[in-house]
């Protein structure tokens, strides 16, 4: 373009405007969303024909599929371009709040102190150790920044150090598909050995410092075989194969270091085998044969095994059995089943044991002195919080490490003195800038479900927010697998709170907040309780004037994405906008395909559509199946190409079908991370950019930012 000639300059600008389909002094034309072609795929089930027009999107190696996904990304980018400046502002805010160069609190194991640290500008943690003595030299055990150099993704899976501290077994995923390769490193020489094992899940060392036990996955990503590996060996001994496709296996070692455990677990049943750690070539023994609906877990202390079992009640009891004769007829009750208290986990030490309990929707830690049987709970300072055990590798110890946080209190690491019963704060996550926990209010509310059940809601907002229905509110939900959707602190979320957004989590049935019965009430043929609980929670927040429908944003990920899809179909008028992360929305088709990861193992969570009665229930709420012609809220749907838990094509098909049905003009945006898996980007800075994108969508949709 000749800038020296005004006439030629004007002509060139007019040509450019024409090429871009613009009018002088007008904004750019609204981007046109991509529309996927329809190729009917017909199947028969229970005497009925089912037609899926977008089945073809399953082919990630198909150039047409990749082209379509890129068009979706381009469209979303164009629709969100007006937020570019806002995204940059949000990202800079988030980075400014974190201490970029930082270190975790070291934990002690076998005379070493282990910790991780981060360095400003680097995406990944650096794992280190030093001897537990003054002025010890730092040794880098793993630097993910170096290991992931030139790769768009890297994640550390299982890792374990041999008893003598010489060998580190670790597993890495380079795609996000959660398919891990096992490596072994000699920490004395910093050299990686030639040993390589693919598709590894869990790993643990025997006591001889050269024998490693590990599990591997099948084509459906089910951990199903247990092997024994000796350093340098080219072939490994198969020890156990789990042939029931409802079950996964996991190998571990008791904290006492005396026993190896191989646990087979389904969603409702478990079975444990054990072997002395100093006898790696010995014969594994069955602890207790599996029985339908009996879940049990084993730990060891002295001459006894301890068993957390739900045989006598859904919320588990604690029992003991002699190591010499651990059969069920020798089990003795230590803590009986309590209907109102869920025994979620157990940790045994030389003189004490710690039980993770859940009561009234909140977690508690109960510490018991073994010799006297005296116990007490760890005291917490807030009504809405989360706490959980941290790294407690040592068996002979007088302290127990745990983490504590709330919606307004950053993640905090404590040591609890098992003798004096006092907690000492070791470190609290630093939030740089002007952040003060006291500027925010957290509350626990209760909504009443359609059947009268009380649903807990955790909420946080900046002090000074008016309860007049004008504040935007983000409501998060999950409600599946018996997993508690506990509260957590997020320094990134502060960017929303400080702009007047309220954040809430509803603890709906299907999760594990109130024990096993709470899970049972929201799975299988009770699943729709999860959806009505969420709707009741949203309506309660609106009725209490925390927000209004035109200021409400709902969000959920994975199984929480299924929740979003079902709620949006049932009540598309409930909210103004929705954000769905890696959503499990194509329920029927996925649960019919037993070659996919997780399908068979989740028959006990969702149901098997090949069973007529279960199909009849699933078909009533499957999000993809039940999309219909109506107005839907503004929606941002996100996925990753290498997701192994919810395949990318589920949201891709969902979006394609919804584009043909929705009768409104609100944004329907689909964003695909082409280099990640279920959890999104692996690098911490990349992840913050993704979060800034989400926040920009929320802030613009709720009118806080135009």
The catalytic residue among 558, 644, 681, 682 is 558
Beta strands in 283-327 (DSSP E): 285-288, 296-301, 304-309, 317-322
Identify the three-state secondary structure at position 68: helix
The catalytic residue among 533, 586, 643, 694 is 643
580 φ, ψ to 5°?
-115, 120
Angle (CA) 325 326 332, round 5°: 110
pLDDT in the model for residue 28: 55
pLDDT in the model for residue 252: 98
Instruction: Give the CA distances from residue 555 to residues 47, 476, 494, 567, 581, in Å, rounded to whole numbers and listed in that order.
Output: 36, 5, 17, 11, 8
The alpha carbon dihedral of 691, 697, 701, 706 has a sign of: positive
Residues of the chain with pLDDT under 70: 1-28
What DSSP string describes 642-657? T-SSS-THHHHHHHHH
Look up residue 382 and give its two tokens.
Answer: 């807030």
Identify the three-state secondary structure at position 525: helix
pLDDT in the model for residue 623: 98
Q: Is 450 a catalytic residue?
A: no
Query: Who contacts 389 (Cβ-Cβ below 8 Å, separation ≥6)?
Result: 345, 347, 354, 356, 365, 400, 401, 402, 403
pLDDT in the model for residue 29: 74
Q: Confirm if 34 and 71 have CB atoms less than 8 A apart.
A: yes
pLDDT in the model for residue 61: 86
pLDDT in the model for residue 60: 80
Q: Is 102 a catalytic residue?
A: no
Region for residue 216 given its phi and psi (left: phi exceeds 0; alpha: psi -120 to 50; beta: otherwise): beta
Query: Who contacts 497 (Cβ-Cβ below 8 Å, separation ≥6)?
Result: 440, 460, 461, 462, 503
Other residues' Cβ atoms within 10 Å of the Cβ of residue 191:
10
Other residues' Cβ atoms within 10 Å of the Cβ of residue 646:
27
The catalytic residue among 678, 681, 694, 695 is 678
Residue 129 CA to residue 578 CA, distance in Å, equals 44
CATH architecture of 436-639+649-670+694-701: 3-Layer(aba) Sandwich (3.40)
What DSSP string describes 167-191? EEEEEEESSSS---EEEEEETTTTE
State which H helix or E strand residue 615 sits in: helix 612-618
Look up residue 313 and give its two tokens.
Answer: 């009640």
pLDDT in the model for residue 18: 35
Q: Confirm if 229 and 194 have CB atoms less than 8 A apart.
A: no
Q: Is 250 a catalytic residue?
A: no
**Strands across the sheet containing 473-476:** 440-448, 454-462, 502-506, 473-476, 552-557, 577-581, 634-640, 668-673
Buried/exposed code over 221-254 (b: 16+ C-beta within 10 A; e: otherwise): bbbbbbbbbbbeeeebeebbebeebbbbbbbbbb
Other residues' Cβ atoms within 10 Å of the Cβ of residue 426:
14
Residue 280 CA to residue 251 CA, distance in Å, equals 13
Nearest-CA neighbor of 578 among 557, 556, 554?
554
Query: Who contacts 344 (Cβ-Cβ below 8 Å, separation ≥6)?
Result: 316, 356, 357, 358, 363, 512
pLDDT in the model for residue 190: 97
Residue 364 CA to residue 361 CA, distance in Å, equals 10
């Amino acid at each position: 373009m000749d800038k020296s000639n005004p006439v030629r300059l004007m002509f060139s600008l007019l040509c450019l405007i024409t090429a871009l389909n613009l009018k002088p002094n007008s904004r750019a034309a609204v981007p046109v969303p991509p529309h996927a072609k329809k190729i009917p795929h017909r199947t028969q089930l229970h005497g009925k024909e089912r037609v899926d027009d977008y089945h073809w999107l399953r082919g990630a190696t198909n150039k047409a599929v990749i082209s379509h996904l890129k068009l979706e990304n381009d469209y979303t980018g164009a629709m969100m371009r007006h937020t570019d400046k806002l995204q940059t502002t949000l990202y800079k805010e988030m980075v400014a709040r974190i201490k970029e160069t930082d270190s975790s609190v070291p934990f002690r194991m076998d005379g070493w102190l282990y910790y991780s640290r981060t360095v400003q500008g680097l995406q990944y943690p650096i794992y280190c150790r030093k001897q537990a003595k003054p002025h010890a030299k730092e040794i880098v055990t793993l630097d993910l920044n170096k290991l992931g150099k030139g790769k768009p993704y890297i994640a550390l899976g299982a890792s374990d150090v041999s008893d003598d501290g010489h060998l580190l077994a670790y597993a890495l995923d380079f795609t996000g598909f959660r398919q891990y390769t096992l490596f072994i490193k000699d920490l004395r020489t910093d050299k990686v050995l030639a040993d390589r094992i693919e598709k590894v899940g869990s790993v643990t060392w025997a006591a001889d410092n050269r024998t490693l036990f590990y599990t591997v996955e099948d084509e459906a990503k089910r951990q199903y075989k247990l092997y024994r590996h000796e350093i340098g060996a080219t072939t490994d001994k198969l020890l156990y194969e789990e042939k029931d496709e409802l079950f996964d296996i996991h190998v571990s070692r008791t904290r006492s270091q005396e026993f190896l455990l191989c646990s087979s677990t389904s969603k409702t049943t478990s079975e444990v085998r054990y072997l002395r750690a100093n006898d790696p070539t010995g014969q594994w023994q069955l602890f207790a044969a599996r029985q339908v609906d009996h879940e049990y877990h084993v730990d060891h202390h002295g001459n006894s095994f301890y068993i957390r079992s739900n045989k006598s009640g859904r919320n588990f009891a604690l029992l003991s059995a002699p190591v010499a004769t651990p059969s069920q007829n020798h089990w003795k009750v230590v803590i009986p089943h309590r209907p109102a208290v869920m025994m979620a986990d157990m940790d045994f030490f030389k003189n004490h044991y710690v039980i993770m309990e859940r009561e009234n929707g909140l977690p508690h830690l109960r510490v018991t002195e073994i010799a006297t049987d005296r116990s007490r709970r760890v005291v917490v300072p807030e009504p809405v919080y989360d706490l959980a055990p941290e790294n407690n590798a040592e068996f002979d110890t007088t302290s127990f490490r745990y983490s504590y946080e709330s919606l307004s209190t950053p993640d905090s690491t404590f040591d609890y003195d098992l003798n004096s019963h006092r907690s000492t704060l070791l470190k609290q996550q630093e939030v740089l800038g002007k952040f003060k926990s006291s500027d925010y209010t957290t509350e626990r509310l209760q909504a009443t479900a359609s059947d009268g059940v009380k649903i807990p809601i955790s909420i946080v907002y900046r002090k000074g927010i008016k309860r007049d229905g004008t504040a935007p509110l983000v409501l998060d939900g999950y409600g599946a697998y018996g997993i508690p959707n506990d509260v957590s602190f997020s320094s990134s979320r502060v960017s929303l709170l400080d702009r007047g957004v309220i954040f809430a989590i509803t603890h709906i049935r299907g999760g594990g907040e109130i024990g096993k019965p709470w899970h049972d009430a929201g799975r299988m043929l009770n699943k729709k309780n999860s959806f009505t609980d969420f709707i009741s929670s949203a309506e309660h927040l609106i009725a209490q004037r925390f927000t209004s429908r035109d200021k409400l944003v709902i969000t959920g990920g994975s199984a929480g994405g299924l929740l979003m899809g079902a709620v949006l179909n049932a009540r598309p008028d409930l909210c103004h906008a929705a954000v769905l992360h890696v959503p499990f929305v194509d329920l029927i088709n996925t649960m019919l395909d037993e070659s996919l990861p997780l399908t068979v193992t989740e028959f006990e969570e969702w149901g098997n559509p090949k069973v007529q009665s279960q199909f009849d229930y699933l078909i009533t709420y499957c999000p993809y199946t039940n999309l219909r012609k109506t107005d839907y809220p503004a929606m941002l749907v996100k996925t990753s190409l290498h997701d192994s838990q919810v395949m990318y094509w589920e949201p891709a098909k969902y979006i394609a079908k919804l584009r043909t049905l929705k009768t409104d003009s609100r944004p329907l945006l689909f964003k695909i991370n082409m280099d990640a898996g279920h959890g999104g980007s692996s690098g911490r800075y990349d992840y913050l950019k993704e979060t800034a994108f989400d926040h920009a969508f929320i802030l613009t949709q709720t009118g806080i930012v135009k």
